Amino acid sequence: MSVKNHARESRVRYQPDETPPPALALGIGLQLAVLNIAAVMLIPTVVMRAAGASEAYVLWAVLASVAICGLTTMLQAARAGRIGAGHVMVMGTSGAFIPACISALTQSGPATLATLVAVSALVPVALSWRLSLFQRILTPTVSGTVLMLIPITVMPAVSGMLAGPPGGTSPAGVLSGFFITVVVIGGFALRATGALRLWAPIIGVVIGSAIAGFFGLYDLERVAAAPWISLPQPRPPGLARDFGPAFWTILPSFLLVAVIAAIRTMSSAVAIQRASWRRERAVDFRAVQGAVAVDGVGNLLAGLAGTVPGSATTLSVSLTELTGVAARAVGVVAGGAFIAFVFLPKLLAVILAIPDPVFAGYLVVLLAMLFAIGLKIVLQGGLDFREGMVVGIAVLTGIGFQYGLIFPEQVSAFAGGLLANGMNADGFAAILMTLFLRLTEARPSRFETNFDLSELPRIRDFLGDFVSRGGWDSAMAERLGAAAEEALLTLARQDQGGEEAPGQTERGRHLPLATQKEKGRRLLLVAKKEKDSAVLEFIVAPRDENLQDRIALAGEDTDESAIEREVSLRLLRHLASSVRHQQYHDTDIVTVRVQAPG
């Protein structure tokens, strides 16, 4: 076992498919709920009050947001069919929607806001249904860059928390609450093990709140005045029946932000998979599709309720890294706690009374971890010159727009200030540059046929023509043909007991017959030249097993019978410099990179 895998196994205590002790799941789930509830409540409060909404509508929007985030958090963990990631992903309200929501409320009212939010739900639904069509644009470079910009976007809010409450409270209380929280959480995260590491965030928040309370920053009066149990008063505004000019003017902003929010959810879905398994494995894009589908469900519910839409938060990724507990039960507990908070104003008051400097200290630690996770995603497949330029320009664009360093007046006026949010600007810049690279790269060679191993001679002929056009020799043609054969053999082979054809390949091995299911499948083979390598993409109907994971496992199995069964995997790994298998609900894409001989 490699040192890297051993480190991962020691860090991850409970995988998503494992059941932790109930007390542990309850404790970690409540931590997630407690540490996310304030952010979930803050954004709709800011939007509604900035737009001049009544206090009754503000309260309803906040409670509706909390309930919807609870339901969708549980759905992410439980995974119902194609909906849900099957991982711990806390759903929250999205700050990216703040400018557009305020504009909708001030220009046309709550009904128009509700309609726009409901319509924007179509974006994540469409992306989740056919995510494979966008996989060449929404790359790890794009998603990792967006994730890296989230801490930079949130830092102004941290600065605002450290400004202290109005009334001239002693700066000593603010500084003490902040630094004690950072030191306690950071210290435990760096050096503690076992239970102490699991409870590092909550210990830091409790100690920080106690220190801040000594200086009078904890609002005990708010807690005392809140009732224990109360039923919310529903006030949904309904959907607009007449679409006026304001609707059509603001609609593009909502659709653009919905794309960015979906990318954030994709980034979180990729990151949570990286943090949730002991053995490093390929990203399951079916789980990413399920996560984005929950975005659509949540936005539709938010539209019907007349509140701010949301997306997946990233704090659950950091907490999973910190605690090593990735079991789905944690997500179910966190979602259930959100829903319970709707009916327990006293508990809500206890959380909301936590001083801002304490929240700021907690966020600083988690945002630092979040930046590191985004950086890992960007670097996961290697960073060449072009991708490095995309990351560098996108990050600088996001920082410049976020802090008003680049055409501040024009940026603030465009689409209601859409690009004034650094994450939005960063995401759009990364997407546009990636799209430009895809449109201007050399046109690849394409070959479409039935997914049947009897088509191998035609595939070899196609690859031979491709090699000739690329200026390579016959050795490269042989290598590509062998790599294509091994990839197709592995994809076509059923549960290691498939019927075999009487014919043999050039190397003397039997070819399994294509099953009835395979005979109805189509294969699209795309070949392109990248410097001294050839990249082959095999696009077929989906399968259950991930070829990339199987290749990794084949390298660690020394059993002779297993070696014989996995000969195609071992040969493919020998022939190819890299193999990537992206699995979607509608499509499988296997990408094989083959280095030219010599």
Quick: pLDDT tens for 455-471: 889 999 999 899 888 88
Task: Give 433 or 283, the one with higher predicted confidence.
Answer: 433
CA atoms within 13 A on the CB side of 300: 13
Give dist(CA 196, CA 190) in Å, integer. Answer: 11
Element (H, E) at 420: none
| % pLDDT > 70, the chain | 81
Those residues with Cβ within 8 angstroms of residue 155's Cβ, 6 or more apart along the chain or in another chain: 367
Q: Binning pLDDT at 50, 70 and 90, where does residue 68 land?
A: very high
CA distances from 270 to 273, 297, 312, 444, 470 (A): 5, 20, 12, 28, 35
Residues 134, 215: Cα–Cα separation, whole Å: 53
Sorting pLDDT into bands at 50, 70 and 90, what band is 300? Answer: very high
- Confidence category of residue 428, pLDDT binned at 50, 70, 90: confident
Of 61-75, 154-168, 389-403, where does mean pLDDT reach its minimum?
Answer: 154-168
Amino acid at site 572: L
Q: State the Cα–Cα distance between residues 495 and 544, nearest whole angstrom.
A: 11
Q: What is the pLDDT of residue 504?
A: 41
Q: What is the mean pLDDT of the chain?
A: 78
What pLDDT is recorded for position 544? 59
φ and ψ at residue 166, rounded to 5 degrees:
-65, 150
The Cα 220–Cα 356 span in angstroms is: 14
Asked whether the beta carbons of 99 and 253 are under 8 A apart, the reply is yes
Q: At 278, which helix (H) or strand (E)?
A: none
Domain ranges of the chain: 14-159+216-354, 445-494+507-595
Instruction: Decide: helix, strand or coil at residue 536.
Output: strand
Distance from C-alpha of 150 to C-alpha of 153, rounded to nearest angstrom: 5
Residue 204 has pLDDT above 80, yes or no: yes
AA letter at 31: Q
Q: Three-class SS of residue 306?
A: coil
CATH topology of domain 445-494+507-595: Heat Shock Protein 90 (3.30.565)
Residue 146 contacts residue 430 (beta carbons within 8 Å): yes
Report the C-alpha gap between 192 and 198 in whole angstroms. Answer: 9
Among candidates 557, 556, 521, 569, which has minimal Cα distance to 542?
Answer: 521
Apex 482 CA angle, 479 and 485, nearest 5: 150
Give the pLDDT band of residue 546 (cuts 50, 70, 90). low
State the DSSP string of 73-123: HHHHHH-BTTB--SS---EEE-GGGHHHHHHHHHHH-HHHHHHHHHHHTHH
For the segment 201-227, the average pLDDT, to the nearest whole number, is 80
* Cβ neighbours of residue 121 closer than 8 Å, sequence gap 6 or more: 258, 295, 296, 297, 298, 299, 300, 303, 309
* Beta strands, E only, 438-554: 445-450, 500-504, 510-512, 522-530, 533-540
Structure tokens at 267: 């980034």
pLDDT category at 236 given cuts 50, 70, 90 is confident
Round to whole Å and give the CA distance between 567 and 554: 9
* Top-confidence residue, 142 or 513: 142
